[in-house]
Amino acid sequence: MPKTINDAGAVIRMRVNDRDKINYTDEEIVADVATACRYLSQVLIARKSPEMIVTEDVVDYAAIPENFHSFVGQWPVWREGPVFRTSTGANAVTVRYWATRGQGLSSLTDVIPFDEIYFDAIVTAACMLLLNRDEFDTSKEQSILQALEALMPGGGKS
């Protein structure tokens, strides 16, 4: 069963000792889970994980999706500002691109857009972001990325 941000929030509140919802709002937890998902996306894209590839048919001047990161391979398509350009005009062409996840997460009922195997890494990164805000020594965002990568399946090896 897919995990929601509410599921992550329950674990996060336990780990940061905020079971009574005094230190952190639900909105802060939602925002930090979304940020953790975007960090995880970047790590998986850097590792060239196939699960981060989206295949889509586009036509000339189709809007670039919000989750677009970069093209996979070479295609008769290029990016021009906020749109895809093609040499095929109104005829659709299939493109593959790396896509991030976590955009649009805005409530506790939203489903975390990753397989359950990444749940602990997302929760840990969100905890570090919350604690960093309160000036606990988490050595800022770079250590968050390193910790997230180390928690992922494969032990952080590329």
What pLDDT tens digit does each residue of the chain (158 aa) get?
Answer: 899 999 999 999 999 999 999 999 999 999 999 999 999 999 999 999 999 999 999 999 999 999 999 999 867 899 999 999 998 888 999 999 999 999 999 999 999 999 999 999 999 999 988 988 776 655 555 666 676 677 666 554 44
Between CA 97 and CA 59 the distance in angstroms is: 15
Taking a C-beta distance cutoff of 8 angstroms, is the pair 99, 54 a contact?
A: yes
Domain borders along the chain are 5-48+101-151, 52-99
Between CA 134 and CA 132 the distance in angstroms is: 5
For residue 29, the surrounding DSSP H or E stretch is helix 26-46
The pTM assigned to this predicted structure is 0.81
